Amino acid sequence: MSETSLIVLHLGSGTSVCAIRNDKSLDTSMGLTPVSGLPGATRSGTIDPTLIFHYTHGAAKISHEKSLATPVGVTEAEYILNKKSGWQALASSSDFSEIIQKKDRDEGARLAYDIFEDRILDMVGAYWLKLGRKVDALVFAGGIGEKGKELREGVIERCACLGFTIDRTRN
C-alpha cells in the first residue's frame, strides 16, 4: 500500500475535490448529488440549505407539486440548482475559458472566477488538515485543471503557506 497523501482537484464543467491517503479516498467534496461541493458550469455548489425556501416561498409546506401557493416547486428548484446556477448564473457562460478571458473586464466573470478559486482554497485547506498537514501533491485534473494555468498558479500561490509550490519542470 502506498503511503502517499494527495489532494486531487478535478476541475471541469463538473468539479470535485478528493483527499486521498494510502490509496484510499478519505473525503470528497461531493455529497449525495454533484450539486454539493464546488460550483460548476451550471451547478450551484454547496449553498445554504434554506435557499430552497426562497424558491418555494409562499408554500404552506414544501411540495413537489407546483401550485399558485408554490410559485416554484421543489423539482423546479432542484432543476435551477443543477442546470441554471454556477458559472452560468454568475457570468452568463458555462465555459470557464471564456470566464478567464472576460474576468478583468466583466463583473460577473470576475465573481465566478473569484468564487471558484475561493471554494477551491476552502477545500484544499480543509483536506490539508484532514491529511494531517502531510500532503505529497496537489493534483490538478480535468479540462480546467489541465488547461487553466492562471487558476492553477493562483491556487498554488495562495497555498504557498501550506508548503505547495509549482514544479516548473513538470508544469
For residue 135, give the CATH number of its domain: 3.30.420.40
**Do 102 and 29 sit in the same domain of this protein?**
yes
Query: What's the pLDDT score for residue 126?
Result: 97
**Do 166 and 127 sit in the same domain of this protein?**
yes
Between helix 107-130 and helix 149-158 the angle, nearest 10°, is 50
pTM: 0.86
Amino acid at position 10, single letter: H
Evaluate whether residue 35 is within a structural domain: yes
Q: Which of 32, 55, 84 is the last residue of a domain?
A: 84
**Do 125 and 158 sit in the same domain of this protein?**
yes
**Do 134 and 166 sit in the same domain of this protein?**
yes
pLDDT, mean of residues 67-82 = 70
For residues 150 and 155, what is the distance between their CA atoms, to the nearest angstrom?
9
pLDDT, mean of residues 77-94 = 91
Task: Work out the widest C-alpha separation in the chain, in whole angstroms.
Answer: 61
**Do 119 and 137 sit in the same domain of this protein?**
yes
Amino acid at position 130, single letter: K
Evaluate whether residue 153 is within a structural domain: yes
**Do 113 and 77 sit in the same domain of this protein?**
no
Evaluate whether residue 89 is within a structural domain: no
**Do 113 and 78 sit in the same domain of this protein?**
no
**Do 110 and 158 sit in the same domain of this protein?**
yes
Edge to edge, the sheet with strand 24-28 lists 24-28, 15-21, 5-11, 137-141
Q: How many domains does the chain have?
A: 2
Which is more confidently placed, 19 or 49?
19
Mean of pLDDT over the chain: 88
Evaluate whether residue 64 is within a structural domain: yes
Domain that holds residue 77: 46-84
> Of all helices (H) and strands (E), which one includes residue 149?
helix 149-158
**Do 110 and 30 sit in the same domain of this protein?**
yes
pLDDT, mean of residues 120-130 = 97
User: Which cell numbers hold the place of 141?
Assistant: 485534473
pLDDT at 60 over 50: no
